[in-house]
Amino acid sequence: MQIREWSWRLLIAVLATFQMSLSSYADVPKNNKKKEHLSPATKAYQACATCHGEAGQGKIGVAPSLDTKSFWSVVSDKQFEEMVRKLHTQTNFAEDAANLKSKKIKKIIAMLRKTPVGDPLSLNNNAASGNHDSGKEKYAKICAMCHGASGLGYRENANAPAIRSQEFLSLVSDGYLRHMLKHGKEETMMRSFTPGSVTSWAALTDTEIEDIIVFLRSSGK
pLDDT of 114: 80
Do 190 and 127 lie in one domain? The reply is yes
Mean of the per-residue pLDDT values for the chain?
Answer: 82
Banded model confidence at residue 119, pLDDT cuts 50, 70, 90: low
CA distance 209 to 215: 10
Do 105 and 130 lie in one domain? The reply is no
pLDDT of 174: 95
Q: What is the per-residue pLDDT across 100-116, written as a single tens digit (0 to 9) for each?
A: 899 999 999 999 998 77
Portion of the chain with pLDDT greater than 90, in percent: 51
Question: 20 lies in a domain?
Answer: no
Do 93 and 63 lie in one domain? The reply is yes
Q: What is the chain's percent helix, strand, coil content, to nearest 5? A: 55, 0, 45
CA distance 80 to 11: 65
Identify the three-state secondary structure at position 120: helix
Do 44 and 98 lie in one domain? The reply is yes
pLDDT of 27: 42
Lowest-confidence segment of 134-143, 163-172, 190-199, 210-219 by average pLDDT: 190-199
* DSSP state letter for 209: H
From residue 5, how far is each of 2, 11, 15, 70, 112 by CA, in Å? 5, 10, 16, 78, 68
Do 106 and 127 lie in one domain? The reply is no
Question: 17 lies in a domain?
Answer: no
Question: 138 lies in a domain?
Answer: yes
Do 108 and 134 lie in one domain? The reply is no
**Does the structure show a pLDDT above 70 at 180?**
yes
Do 107 and 188 lie in one domain? The reply is no
Q: What is the per-residue pLDDT across 61-86, written as a single tens digit (0 to 9) for each?
A: 999 999 888 889 889 999 999 999 99
pLDDT of 11: 46
Backbone angles phi, psi at 150, to 5 degrees: -95, -5
Residue length of the chain: 221
From residue 192, how far is each of 20, 173, 186 by CA, in Å? 64, 18, 8
Q: What is the per-residue pLDDT across 22-37, written as a single tens digit (0 to 9) for each?
A: 443 344 344 444 556 7
User: What's the CATH code of the domain at 170?
Assistant: 1.10.760.10
User: What's the CATH code of the domain at 70?
Assistant: 1.10.760
Do 149 and 77 lie in one domain? The reply is no
Do 103 and 140 lie in one domain? The reply is no
Portion of the chain with pLDDT greater than 70, in percent: 81
Q: Which domain holds residue 89?
A: 37-112
Question: 175 lies in a domain?
Answer: yes
Q: Which of 91, 112, 133 is the C-terminal boundary of a domain? A: 112
166, 219 in Cβ contact below 8 A?
A: yes
Angle, helices 40-52 vs 102-112, to 10°: value is 80
Q: What is the per-residue pLDDT across 128-170, written as a single tens digit (0 to 9) for each?
A: 999 999 999 999 999 999 999 999 999 999 999 999 999 999 9
Do 103 and 129 lie in one domain? The reply is no
Question: 156 lies in a domain?
Answer: yes
Q: Which of 86, 112, 138 is the C-terminal boundary of a domain? A: 112
Do 94 and 135 lie in one domain? The reply is no
Domain count, the chain: 2
Do 107 and 161 lie in one domain? The reply is no
The pTM for the full model equals 0.77
Q: Which of 78, 112, 146 is the C-terminal boundary of a domain? A: 112
187, 57 in Cβ contact below 8 A?
A: yes
Higher per-residue confidence, 52 vs 38: 52
pLDDT of 81: 94
Q: Which residues contact 202 (CB under 8 A, 6 or more apart)?
A: 142, 193
The most distant pair of C-alpha atoms in the chain lies apart, rounded to whole Å, by 102
